[in-house]
Structure 1
Amino acid sequence: MIARLLSYAALIVAVILVLFPVYWMLATSLKLPRDILRVPSLWPSRFSLANFEKLLADGQFLLSIRNSFIVASTVTVISVIISSFAAYSMVRFRYRFRGVIGRLILFAYLTPGSLLFIPLSIVMAQLKLGNSLQGLILVYLTFSLPLSTWLLQGYFRGVPRELEEQGMIDGLTRFGALLRITLPLSAPGLAAVAIFTFTGAWNELLFALVLTTSESVRTAPLALNYLITSDVLPWGPLMAGAAISSVPLMILYFVAQRFMVAGMTEGSVKG
């Protein structure tokens, strides 16, 4: 009985620690500007949408949300497709330097992004992709592809090779076996990888800050960063922007939470 009570108490504390920052963000976004800098209160004295109206007045923040959605969606689709083929080849085929390639993929994922600012800036400038969404997509792929490939190898190893061989006996090609057997059986893993990739691309700030300058190509995190223009932080619009930019991720995780749990559990067992 005592152990169960302690477990419930620990869960309650964990939930409070996780949800309180979210609640504080929402509460601050709904406060009147004059109330935000007064004595902190857990509940707005008067609910107001003034912060949201100020943030959305010129439409630039909604444009940044659209840019983030375009970049994150494109990176996710391309990354999942390419990494599926890459991970499958490393799991099912035997060829020279396969182990070296696998280590290079992991090394690419572990390389600190701060070391690549200057090289990637030079490459983007030479490709004439600087200050563009296409350039951001290409840069984000250099980080999402290694992680996606590394994760999907664990899921593909959990699919019995015999199922593919049986399918090929029944007339499927190797490509058909991948599409009709391996990928459907790895659906939870694919969903988990897609969500991780989308989240990483949606929240990324540093490369967007370095590689883009025009207001028309800013992503949501970058638009929030540019709201800070002086020593006085505009907490109201900042919290309103954070709340708006969190909605797509909340919806995504709510819809796909079943796949997330299944995917992470299978990956931990099969990897």
Structure 2
Amino acid sequence: MVTTTDERNTPDERMAQDERKMHDERIVPDETTVPMLPCVSADETLAFWRALGFEVTWEQRKPYLYLAFRWSGFELHYGAATAGLDPTAENTGGCLVMVGAVAPYHAAFVAAMRKTYGKVLAKGLPRITRYRPGASRFSIVDPSGNSIVFIRRDEPEGLEYGGSKRLTGLAKVLDNARILREFKTDDRAAFRALNSGLRRHGDAATAVERATALAALIELSIALDEPDRVPEWGSRLREIPLSGSDREQVERAVADPATLSGWLADEA
């Protein structure tokens, strides 16, 4: 009987050999991560993602729920949610989708919503958040309250949540409101911040800063179903003289410049 070298080694020696072999095997960076999200309603989840153009790659109801979707280069998978989960709390779960540019994704999903639903789903569940030109992210909240956040890969690492320390006055309020709107998706808090900030700092602010704050308040009043406030903000905005470049800057501050139609003064 022939005895190999490995067989003559002690258990400790063989373990050391195995560890050396493992260290010699390099990890190849070819991983793929697929989010597994909780699903409250299979029918609503299937209908929503199909409406947005996703392919259903797996649909299983028994013996347990499992759904899988694919769109472009990423996938979303779902399993059954725990009993009693409340989607309206919107703390269910979610994932990040890192992309080169977020605007084309937002445009594609908005177009799909308009085609299927006849409008953009901007409130309640499911919905898509607004996208302001130049912003680095937006979110889709599915019927189960999961947030799928699309983020630009080169999003600045130095984002200061809650207002930049380098800014003062109304400029700082505007920056804080931007964070509340685009990152925390809290329109009500952004509205309050802008409303009080404009009262406190409006007199010392530049024309563009005042106009930007009023434009944002117009957009937020509409989003919050308080259109009665729009004429108030709009009439004040119309009184501010703006140059052509100033107008462009103010229009870029809102997701849909059409909401400012009739409220911007002629070029100064």
TM > 0.5 fold call: no
The structure with the larger Rg is 2
The structure with the greater share of residues assigned to strand is: 2
- TM-score scaled to structure 1, two decimals? 0.20
Q: 1 or 2 for the larger relative contact order (CA 8 Å, sep ≥6)?
A: 1
- TM-score scaled to structure 2, two decimals? 0.20
